[in-house]
Structure 1
């Protein structure tokens, strides 16, 4: 048997584990300090550190995976080392279940644990295991208290309308002229960044939110607003193209209407600039979250009646779409079951659009408008909404203080939320805009119609007409053309022709 005289080979094999829960600057300074102290402890004891494991910006209490910790356990189970050096036991565990697994592994593999702050934790003895469990229980309690303090602080900030940090929301953040120092996470260098007033609206972005709101209330679509944003050169606050999801989220933010939110619950009003009136915000939310809202998957329709016109073939319930048919490959309306060939799509669209324009140009066009929301008292509803929210907050406080039971809290909350939902529906109705409004009474209805986007015109079509396309007759029609207008059947949804 060959005996090595190398001090490094004879020294006890050790590993170092370091972790910090939160690294706000990204500089990893907390990790470096722990590592220096652990390395010094290993040097004093003459241990040979064969590897270092580091989990930066990962909380042991959050439940998130700690990749290097798991890698260390695998290596220890494989006999890589017999000593673990860490700054404190709470760097290793804050969950009793994790600690028990660690104790089991250390017993099986003869691994000792040494800490800079708490000394040796001998997990091979009952007293050592008891010490580890007590330290773990204390660490868990500290984490729970810290989490409670952080949650309370965040809720108070939300109530006060203070900005909680993160990515600048589209619409707010005007430079104050001051700067602050920050560590660039990519380069690790200290840089100067402008200080923003998150309560002040950025005029051009606020105007874009207002435009998107009006487009939705006028029968437009998120897709149409996304195109408008792209055409105007708008991007996210990170400089990326605004997607459909981004745009939808922007319009659904309660902050737009000056409403403060904490954990998804509205808790009052904030001190920041309001971008849109609350009633318009509620109306947009009602539109975008309506389960019966018709959306078209895939590509946006390019034809006026695509997926709106119905097929008139016997027993068919399909809607029509445009495909190229015949020897000349002309765009024509067909259903999914291939009924209805031979209808020139452009001629059908022009015919239906002319019907709508002619009807809306008549003196009695105002009779087609839906009743307005003049009976809605917006100011009174907003006061009632605030009172209900305060009642919800009071109920939560009373339950926390033990003044009411859980069933009482649940019953009171359910009633208040139902009332708040009703108020919100009324506020939404106050801002609901009939898509026919821009056309009725216009000096030149055709001119206004042509200035509208395709999605807005399709909305008017849905509101006014139910169009069914039957199989056209072959040959020349009585008017001398080859287009069978009689195969197009219309039913007026509002009023009569």
Structure 2
């Protein structure tokens, strides 16, 4: 037979895959490709394409874009042979094998592997052998998963550290506290309960050059993720920590020390995961003292007080007045009844509040309130409700109740549990003093405090209503502010 009459070499594609590549070095897939190329050369096949899925499991059913591209190439007739390191690189689930079997039968694809030999899908015996190999691979993965789950369950029950990135507040290994970081968690937890914003606390931490456990600057979202961790209270949980408190599953006490007490953590968690709370990254942080707090004192069209929210806005140049420098004004957000200069208004209100908080009676509004046993009764009720949920789950697992009764009962218990958690959170927040309490000069401490602290103090001690100017073009005057002291206790 002449050379021209010899059969053309098989046009082959190499497929390489590795399930996990934490370092991102691709060493595993590159080694597979080298060995597959050597096999193709021995077979006399021409490698026309290489498809690589790195760090993707074939068992979990995650999309494998390169695997799908390879199958498409087979369907188009671009390749007539497949080379892989082992059959489990191509598939670890029987459902994936069946797709390959169908394709191989219709397109007459030859399959060779470096370590598992030929895969002949054109005969019943070859298909049986392939299915046996796939079943063995699937059983190995399922057995591995069972061992991992059993190990996790044992570690959960023992309250042991399960690994991962170093948690902020702890040394590497997660079992020993880092005192300075622990104080950051405790202080930030108190500040959140006192009404400070996540964005304000994060900004302050960055100014103090405090960084996250990975060395990054803080954001409101990263700070929230740290503060809602059950680990802060020495608790072990399952599932996501970001679910509402009543839906969070606590499975026991941890072996590592807590950074805050459980009541404080639960109050912070309830506050930051409340369904009514907007996502922290989308939350705007007011730049002015009275924005969203003060109310409009104008008279509405029917003679009733407006009471609309006052917001800050910038009033600048217009075509008729092009030389005006933009200036911040407060404005009635409901009906634009009035505007007033922001800086002068804020400065005046700050001085009024600074004098107010020097009064012991006003300062008492910012101090922790008494408990009178409500917190302890709430804790006892919470423990009872948690046990009821656990018993209901056990009854369902034992087929003592059906799915409908299980859902109805757990829904009812969780509604009450959410109410109890809310009351406990409010009680804990009431026991947290605002930052200026205890200062030698509370008035000066208020003036020196961050804006979010000043706004929280203002909400607690003073009501502010802005009145319309007496006549058009009137200069700023303190008479435009109607101030009312919040009730004393």
What pairs with 1:10-409 in structure 2 (closer than 5 Å)?
Answer: 10-24=8-22, 26=24, 28=26, 30-31=28-29, 34-35=32-33, 38-39=36-37, 41-116=39-114, 118-173=116-171, 196-264=172-240, 265-292=249-276, 300-315=285-300, 317-324=308-315, 331-336=328-333, 338-341=336-339, 343-362=340-359, 364-365=361-362, 368=365, 372-376=369-373, 392=389, 396=393, 399-400=396-397, 405-407=402-404, 409=406
3-state DSSP of counterpart to 1:120: strand
Indicate conservation of the 8 Å contact 1:473/1:484, yes or no: no
Distance 1:150-1:435 versus aligned 2 partners, 3 A rule: closer
State the match for 2:428 in structure 1. Answer: 431
Contact kept? 2:161, 2:173, Cα under 8 Å:
no
**Aligned 8 A contact 1:286 1:428 in 2:** yes
SS at match of 1:158: helix
- Partners of 2:416 and 2:121 lie apart in 1 by 58
Matched-pair contact (CA < 8 Å) for 1:16–1:85: yes
Give the C-alpha shift of residue 440 in structure 1: 7.0
Distance, in Å, in 2 between the alignment partners of 1:71 and 1:296 is 38
- Identify if the C-alpha distance between structure 1 residues 438 and 252 changes in structure 2 by more than 3 Å, giving closer, same or farther: closer
Per-residue displacement from partner, 1:430-479 (whole Å, max 9, x unpaired)? 421378766678764422322322211211222334322221113899xx
TM-score normalized with structure 1 length: 0.79
- Structure 1 residue 490, shift from structure 2 partner: 3.6
Structure 2 CA distance for aligned equivalents of residues 281 and 165 of structure 1:
22
- CA RMSD of the aligned region, Å? 3.8
Q: What CA deviation, in whole Å up to 9, does each residue of 1:38-61 have, x standing for no partner?
A: 456545544344443332321112
State the 1:313 CA deviation: 3.7
Q: Evaluate the alpha carbon distance shift between residue 227 and residue 269 of structure 1 in structure 2; reply closer, same or farther with a 3 A threshold.
A: same
Q: Distance in 1 between matches of 2:395 and 2:375?
A: 30
Q: CA deviation at 1:235?
A: 1.6
Which SS does the other structure have where 2:175 is aligned? Answer: strand
Deviation at 1:108, TM superposition (A): 3.0
**Greater mean alpha carbon deviation, residues 112-121 or residues 405-414:** 405-414
- Aligned-residue offset at 1:116: 4.6
Q: Does 1:472 align with 2:469?
A: yes
Distance 1:293 1:24 in 2: 35
Return the match for 1:457 from 446, 454, 459: 454
**Any idea what the Cα deviations from partners look like across 1:171-211, whole Å, max 9, x if unmatched?**
112xxxxxxxxxxxxxxxxxxxxxx3311111111111112
In 2, the alpha carbon distance for the partners of 1:321 and 1:311 equals 13
1:287-334 C-alpha deviation (Å, 9 max, x unpaired): 223455588967633321123222334445342315346967654322
Paired residue secondary structure (2:430): coil
* 5+ long unaligned stretches in structure 2: 241-248, 301-305
Please state how far the C-alpha of 1:216 moved relative to its aligned partner.
1.2
Judge conservation of contact 2:368–2:431 (CA < 8 Å) in 1: no
| 1:489 corresponding residue in structure 2 | 482
Contact 2:91 2:97 in 1 (8 A): yes
Q: Give how far 1:225 is off.
A: 0.9
Over 3 Å counting, the alpha-carbon distance change for 1:474 and 1:300 in structure 2 is: same
Tell me which residue corresponds to 1:189: none
Report how many aligned residue pairs link the two structures: 466
* SS of the residue 1:275 aligns to: coil
Report SS of the residue matched to 1:238.
Answer: coil
Deviations, residues 194-237 of structure 1 (Å, cap 9, x unaligned): xx331111111111111211211222111121112111111222
2:267 alignment partner, SS class: helix
